[in-house]
Amino acid sequence: MGKFDEAIGRMFNRVFVCRNCKTKIKTDKMRILKKEIICKKCGSDQFRPIKKSK
C-alpha cells in the first residue's frame, strides 16, 4: 500500500506534542507561537511539532 498525501496531512499537519506530558493536540501554528494554547493534561504551554515516522 502506498502513502497518500491526504492521509499524511491528516496525521502530521497541525499536530503538536506537549513537551512535558507528551499529549498530542491539533491546532494552528500561530496559536502555539502566541502561547494561546495550554495542555489539557498538565497545563503547560510548551509544544513541539510531531515527528514524522520513517
Residue 26 within a domain:
yes
Domain membership of residue 40 as a residue range: 5-49
What spatial distance separates the first Cα and last Cα of the chain, rounded to whole Å? 15
Q: What is the pLDDT of residue 29?
A: 93
> Which residues touch 12 (CB under 8 Å, ≥6 apart)?
50, 52
Residue 54 — pLDDT band, cuts 50, 70, 90? low
Q: Are 2 and 8 in contact (CB under 8 A)?
A: no
Beta partners for residue 26, in sequence order = 15
How crowded is residue 23: how many other Cβ atoms within 10 Å of its Cβ? 14
User: Is position 9 within any domain?
Assistant: yes
pLDDT tens-digit readout, 5-53: 888 888 889 999 999 999 999 999 999 999 999 999 999 999 999 988 7
Number of domains present in the structure of the chain: 1
**54 domain-assigned:** no
Residue 40 lies inside a defined structural domain of this protein: yes
**Residue 45 maps to a domain:** yes
Q: Is residue 10 part of a domain?
A: yes
